[in-house]
Amino acid sequence: MTDNIYSGLGQLGQSSSIPASPEEAELERVANPHTDTLYLARFTAPEFTSLCPVTGQPDFAHLVIDYAPGAWLVESKSLKLYLTSFRNHGAFHEDCTVAIGKRLEGLLEPKWLRIYGYWYPRGGIPIDVFWQSGPVPEGLYVPDTGVAPYRGRG
């Protein structure tokens, strides 16, 4: 009998509450069974929310996270809980977007990672934030995000 590779996961298949903050959120990873293959994994969070650190008003974004896995994959339930933990977190758009990218890069050590933060306008100005860990690996197919640039009423 072999060891269950998922036995160390604390959230998968369990009742889990929303972490109080991104710092308290536990991101989990699992072994990538295809480390010899260059491929892209994409997570899309079209209803991401955080709080403006100045006004306390909610900010909304459509996040797209692309990564080329190395030895690890992010466990999706832990990612969902981590992203949800920003709901009561006060930070500027740039900080939220880059912090998520850096945390995932540190956890997963991917061949490549990019996060796209398409923030909805408040005060009339949309802010789009993009961060990546380095150049796109040669031969990696990165499809368009499918998120249209903000056009207002146009």
Which sequence positions are flagged as catalytic? 52, 59
Tell me the β-bridge partners of 100. Answer: none
Residues whose CB is less than 8 angstroms from the CB of residue 118 and which lie 6 or more positions away in sequence, other chains included: 61, 62, 63, 64, 126, 128, 145, 147, 150
- Please report the sign of the dihedral spanned by the C-alpha atoms of residue 134, residue 128, residue 115, residue 57: positive
Quote helix, strand, coil % in the chain, to nearest 5.
Answer: 20, 30, 55
Indicate left, alpha or beta for 109 from its phi (over 0: left) and psi (-120 to 50: alpha).
left
Structure tokens at 114: 């990019």
Do 140 and 113 form a contact (C-beta atoms < 8 A)?
Answer: no
